[in-house]
């Protein structure tokens, strides 16, 4: 079945730094979602993307739907300690199909 790859698997950054992570697929997707999961909690939707090239922001977070429709990017600016968690991407290949989730990027923010 479809598989999503997320890069990097994990990252350690200093507070205040900007963060970039991406999600790639071998298939063309029509929808990309980005979630954040805190320890012991469920994933929380951050940003939803529906069109190739779309750039959407949510506070310090910005995500882009790649032009090739096979990737998506998430950037976090001026990281803070509460940004710590696992960031998951999810993609939908065809309308009505279930979303496939990537393995996650684990973010640690050092004070």
**CA–CA distance from 21 to each of 28, 39, 74 (Å)?**
19, 20, 5
Of the candidate residues 19, 21, 22, 35, the single one contacting other proteins (CB under 8 A): 35
Does 105 bind other proteins (CB under 8 A)? Our answer is: no
Does 52 bind other proteins (CB under 8 A)? Our answer is: no
CA 13 to chain centre: 17
Which of helix, strand or coil describes residue 81?
helix
Shortest Cβ distance from residue 16 to other proteins (Å)? 28
Instruction: Enumerate binding residues for other proteins (CB under 8 A).
Output: 30-31, 33, 35, 40-45, 48, 50, 88, 90, 92, 95-104
């Amino acid at each position: 079945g479809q598989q999503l790859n997320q890069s990097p698997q994990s990252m350690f950054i200093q507070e205040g730094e900007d963060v970039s992570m991406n999600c790639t697929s071998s298939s063309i997707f029509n929808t990309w979602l980005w979630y954040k999961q805190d320890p012991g909690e469920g994933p929380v939707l951050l940003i939803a993307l529906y069109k190739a090239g779309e750039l959407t922001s949510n506070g310090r977070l910005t995500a882009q739907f790649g032009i090739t429709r096979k990737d998506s990017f998430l950037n976090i600016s001026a990281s803070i300690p509460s940004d710590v968690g696992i960031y998951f991407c999810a993609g939908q290949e065809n309308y009505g199909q279930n979303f496939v989730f990537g393995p996650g990027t684990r973010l640690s923010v050092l004070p």
